[in-house]
Structure formats: structure tokens, C-alpha cells
């Protein structure tokens, strides 16, 4: 007898429910470098947090952005505190940020800027 298939929505809801039961994923601290930062007109902030080998999407809702002590932007190294969950509609897991702390300039951004300078010097010759 074949098992009955479930819908994509049911699968994403199941994964989200399992993640919401995980204590570690509900109170996670993650360090990384901000890229693809967008401050949406609604007040929400969307960005990617990355390191040398991986990335994760992040969102900080307007209700949490008021506690920020700096303006996030691409290339800044940060530590985020939040909850990892699934955005069910897209089936994407991401960090829902409750707080962000600045942690310097990211090494990936620094390397990118150095490469741009080197290339512009090469073109000038």
C-alpha cells in the first residue's frame, strides 16, 4: 500500500513546528557579515548574514529595530540574536532577529574593497 503524499504547505508547516520546539534554535547567537541589506518602507530590515563558507537570510521586524544602536549596512560584521524558523510560503529558513550588535568591519567586505582598488589601479595604467 502506498502512503498518502502530503502537500508542500503541510511539509513546510511540519518543519516549522519542529523547529519551534527546539530551544537552541529559539535563542541563537550568530556572528557574520551583513550583505544585501534592505530597509523596507514598512520599517522591516532584510539582509543576508554570511561568513567565508555559508549564508543565511535574516529579517528584523520594525518592532525590534527601535532598539538598534547603529544603522546596519553591507559589509558590517555583526552578532545577531534571534530565532531560526521557516517562512512557510517560500519554504526558506531564516533568522528572525530580535537584536543586532555591531562587531566591526567584515573581512569579506574589506577583501572586496581591496580588490576594487587593485582593479581600478590596473585600469589606470
Is 37 within a domain? yes
Q: How many domains does the chain have?
A: 1
The DSSP annotation for 99-122 comes to EEEEEEE-HHHHHHHHHHHHHHHH
Find the CATH number of the domain harbouring 119.
2.40.50.140
Is 2 within a domain? no
Cell of 31: 556572528
Is 28 within a domain? yes
State the residue range of the domain holding 16.
8-124
Cβ neighbours of residue 89 closer than 8 Å, sequence gap 6 or more = 12
pLDDT at 110 (0 to 100): 73
Is 46 within a domain? yes
pLDDT in tens, the chain (125 residues): 678 999 999 999 999 999 999 999 999 999 999 999 999 999 999 999 999 999 999 999 999 999 899 999 999 999 999 999 999 999 999 999 999 999 977 666 677 777 777 777 777 66
For β-strands 76-87 and 92-105, DSSP reports them as: antiparallel
DSSP letter (8 states) at residue 98? E
Q: What is the pTM of this model?
A: 0.81
Looking up cell 543586532 gives: 100
pLDDT at 106 (0 to 100): 63
Is 3 within a domain? no
Is 60 within a domain? yes
pLDDT at 33 (0 to 100): 95
Is 90 within a domain? yes
For residue 48, count CB atoms less than 10 angstroms from its CB and return exposed for 0-12, middle for 13-18, buried for 19 or more.
middle
Is 79 within a domain? yes
Amino acid at each position: 500500500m502506498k502512503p498518502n503524499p502530503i502537500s508542500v504547505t503541510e511539509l513546510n508547516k511540519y518543519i516549522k513546528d519542529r523547529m519551534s520546539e527546539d530551544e537552541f534554535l529559539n535563542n541563537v547567537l550568530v556572528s557574520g557579515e551583513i550583505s544585501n541589506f534592505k530597509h523596507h518602507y514598512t520599517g522591516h530590515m532584510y539582509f543576508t548574514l554570511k561568513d567565508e563558507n555559508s549564508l543565511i537570510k535574516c529579517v528584523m521586524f520594525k518592532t525590534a529595530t527601535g532598539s538598534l544602536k547603529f544603522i546596519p549596512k553591507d559589509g558590517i560584521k555583526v552578532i545577531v540574536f534571534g530565532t531560526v524558523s521557516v517562512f512557510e510560503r517560500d519554504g526558506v529558513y531564516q533568522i528572525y532577529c530580535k537584536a543586532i550588535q555591531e562587531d566591526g568591519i567584515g573581512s569579506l567586505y574589506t577583501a572586496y574593497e581591496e580588490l576594487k582598488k587593485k582593479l581600478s589601479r590596473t585600469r589606470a595604467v
